Amino acid sequence: MRNPRPLVIIGDALLDRDYEGRAERLAPEGPVPVVDEMAQRVRPGGAGLAALLAAFDGREVALVTALGRDDAGRQLAACLESAGVRLIDLGMEGTTPEKIRVRSDGRTLLRLDRGARAGSAGPLTEDALRTMASASAILVSDYGRGMSEAAGLRAALARLAARLPIVWDPHPRGGEPVLGLRLATPNASEAARFATLPSPSTGKGQGGGAAGMSAAGDGLASITERGRILARRWQASAVAVTLGSRGALLVAGDGPPVVIPASATDTGDACGAGDRFASAAAGFLADGALTADAVADAVVVATSYVAAGGAAAIAVDREGPSPNIHRPRMADAQDVIARTRLRGGTVVATGGCFDLLHAGHVSVLEQARALGDCLVVCLNSDASVRRLKGEGRPVVGEEDRAAVLAALGCVDAVVVFDEDTPQALLERLKPDIFAKGGDYAVADLPEQRILEGWGGQVVLLPYLKGRSTSSLMQAMAERARA
């Protein structure tokens, strides 16, 4: 159950601008791509992205940050407020930081950074202090632009650390966290940097003697030692070192480290994955989860986020935010289809409830993906599953089902539909192949007639014998009675 008190995020917010276009030729004056027909999308970045993602999770979110009195600051404030984030702006001397990306075909060709330097945030206000005191948990998203050093902030956090979960997401340009954290979430390079800095108390480096392994190597032993150094240095209950596609390594106390692998995925934009991990972990801790469980669940959420396209898949305007990535947008699937067809590829779709995902589901999905160059899953909504399967179903909600499917390497996009069949959705997607798992005759499938309308084809794929959601539920019920 989600805590009704707000998740408070404190940190440096940025405005991200993406200019997306087509790059099909080089400039005559130099070997650089020419980008045509650019469309602009804006979204919050930094702590703003962490707040946006937490709000998309359905949480009450307050963001304490500092914005400039400029157009970028006004756009950023509008983006956050349209997503339901309560904004507490301390004010900034200078301009709001911006990251500008020029992209084509899902790839960044150029990035420009501009905006304020560190040390420009105003002092903590009474409103900010009251909001922090009412929090269910606090996430400090420190991008090294001065917010973590706002007057009064560190003292307030030190007082709250004894009674609230505080998560600190550090940055190479940022300072050291306050002492007594529940969780710190550096990535591997950040952990290496902080572990070898001079100790605040002794002035000596942290990498010598028994801790010497922290100075070199990226193996588990080295990463574990860095995590232990930082846990002692920051008096943190736990340190989770994020490892990108390898998941995370959690150090807590003197016991062995916990390695949490990420699901394999061969696609996706990792931009913002650290913010997604930290905001999810803070949210789970706010709900009362144990630290190890919060970190494990945050790895799943961050992996799903990357597989769904990362920050580039999020667009926010004054009309409101795009839907949560766990309720994927039609536009995401259409983008995958357009890029596949631009390369001359074959578009495959499949559909189903995918409740309690099991080996039979995975087998069908992998077979379907092998038929073409991308796979779009048409997923029955909770209401649709209930009508088809009866009360008590689905066991797993649509957002979680969509997240798990999107994390699979064989799935390129997921679209949730509310009807009993995916016929209307297929009319919009127009796949080349619709793959159906199970025992059917093609003549019994209405999808066959629909696909024939544009020259598509329906194919049947075998299930693995003995694998079904019903059998899993029956087995669980029998074990519960035993």
- Full pLDDT tens readout for the chain, 482 residues: 567 799 999 999 999 888 888 888 888 888 888 888 777 788 899 999 999 999 888 889 999 999 988 888 999 999 898 888 999 999 888 888 888 888 887 778 888 888 766 557 788 899 999 999 999 999 999 988 888 888 889 999 999 999 999 999 999 888 889 999 999 999 999 999 999 877 665 455 554 433 333 445 678 899 999 999 999 999 999 999 999 888 899 999 888 999 998 876 545 567 788 999 999 999 999 999 999 999 988 888 888 788 777 776 665 543 444 433 444 557 678 778 887 887 889 999 999 888 878 888 888 999 999 999 999 999 998 888 889 888 777 888 888 888 889 888 899 999 998 888 899 899 888 999 999 886 555 556 788 889 999 999 999 988 665 555 555 555 555 566 66
pTM (global) more than 0.75: no
Whichever domain contains 209, its CATH number is 3.40.1190.20
Catalytic site residue from 275, 335, 355, 382 = 275
The pLDDT score that the predictor gives to residue 464 is 62
Q: Are 138 and 157 in contact (CB under 8 A)?
A: yes
Q: Are 60 and 285 in contact (CB under 8 A)?
A: no
The pLDDT score that the predictor gives to residue 210 is 36
Query: Are residues 294 and 348 both part of a single domain?
Result: no
The pLDDT score that the predictor gives to residue 475 is 52
Out of 263, 286, 313, pick the residue that ends a domain.
Answer: 313
The pLDDT score that the predictor gives to residue 322 is 42
- SS3 percent helix, strand, coil of the chain, rounded to 5, is 40, 25, 40
Query: Are residues 242 and 204 both part of a single domain?
Result: yes
Element (H, E) at 303: helix 291-307
Query: Are residues 247 and 347 both part of a single domain?
Result: no
Query: Does the residue 86 lie in any domain?
Result: yes
Q: How far is CA 117 from CA 94, 95, 245, in A?
A: 8, 9, 31
Tell me, yes or no, if 275 is annotated catalytic. yes
Query: Are residues 371 and 268 both part of a single domain?
Result: no
Beta strands in 329-461 (DSSP E): 347-352, 374-380, 413-417, 433-437, 457-461
Query: Are residues 84 and 52 both part of a single domain?
Result: yes
Q: How far is CA 217 from CA 225, 243, 304, 404, 414, in A?
A: 11, 13, 28, 32, 38
Query: Does the residue 320 lie in any domain?
Result: no
Q: How far is CA 278 from CA 42, 166, 222, 263, 411, in A?
A: 22, 11, 22, 18, 25
Q: Count how many Cα atoms sit within 13 Å of the Cα of residue 298 in the half-sphere of its side chain.
A: 35
Query: Are residues 159 and 205 both part of a single domain?
Result: yes
Q: What is the DSSP letter of 230?
A: H
Query: Are residues 267 and 380 both part of a single domain?
Result: no
Q: Are 250 and 292 in contact (CB under 8 A)?
A: yes
Q: How far is CA 272 from CA 154, 305, 477, in A?
A: 25, 9, 41
Query: Does the residue 1 lie in any domain?
Result: no
Residue-number span of the structural domain to which 414 is assigned? 330-481
Query: Are residues 219 and 275 both part of a single domain?
Result: yes
The pLDDT score that the predictor gives to residue 86 is 95
Find, among 97, 92, 93, the residue nearest to 17 by Cα: 97
3 state DSSP class of 367: helix
Query: Are residues 297 and 244 both part of a single domain?
Result: yes
Query: Are residues 293 and 363 both part of a single domain?
Result: no
Whichever domain contains 477, its CATH number is 3.40.50.620
The pLDDT score that the predictor gives to residue 126 is 93
Query: Does the residue 321 lie in any domain?
Result: no
The pLDDT score that the predictor gives to residue 215 is 42
Element (H, E) at 75: helix 71-82
Query: Are residues 57 and 170 both part of a single domain?
Result: yes
3 state DSSP class of 183: strand
3 state DSSP class of 273: helix
Out of 264, 281, 313, pick the residue that ends a domain.
Answer: 313
The pLDDT score that the predictor gives to residue 121 is 79
Rounded to 10°, the helix 153-160/126-133 angle is 20
- Provide the domain count of the chain: 2
The pLDDT score that the predictor gives to residue 320 is 42
Residue 458 CB partners (closer than 8 Å, separation 6+): 433, 434, 435, 436, 442, 445, 447, 448, 451
Query: Does the residue 69 lie in any domain?
Result: yes
Torsion of CA 269, 273, 275, 276, to 10 degrees: 100
Query: Does the residue 323 lie in any domain?
Result: no
Query: Are residues 358 and 444 both part of a single domain?
Result: yes
d(CA 324, CA 341): 26
- The owner of tokens 């996009």 is 413
Query: Does the residue 94 lie in any domain?
Result: yes
Find, among 86, 12, 69, the residue nearest to 44 by Cα: 12
Out of 313, 338, 372, pick the residue that ends a domain.
Answer: 313
